[in-house]
Amino acid sequence: LSFNDTWLDFQHGLLRKTAGDLEQWQELYEKALVCASKRLLPDRRRKRSYPRVSYQKRTKATKFETKNRGEAKQIREDNRRKAHE
């Protein structure tokens, strides 16, 4: 399924319409779901011309340390003191 086309189907089929009761919402939802299920990704004959790469995930600890360097240093020192006790 194509995400963009599916999202557009749901926007047009549900979010921009008003329904009075639950039965009407369910009917609109089913229609949007049927339309979205018919959407397919395009059949690309050529492969991509560049290698597919992803970013490496950082640990949460490094994110905290970069935002709050002073606090992180103090916490590390406190943890070291507790470990040696």
Chain segment 16-61, per-residue pLDDT in tens: 777 788 888 888 888 888 888 887 777 778 887 878 877 777 666 6
| DSSP of 33-58 | HHHHHT------SSPPSS----PPPP
| Least confident range of 21-25, 68-72, 81-85 | 68-72
What pTM, to 2 d.p., does this model score?
A: 0.45
Stated as kind and residue range, the H or E segment containing 9 is: helix 3-10
Residue 29 CB contacts under 8 Å (≥ 6 apart), including other chains:
13, 14
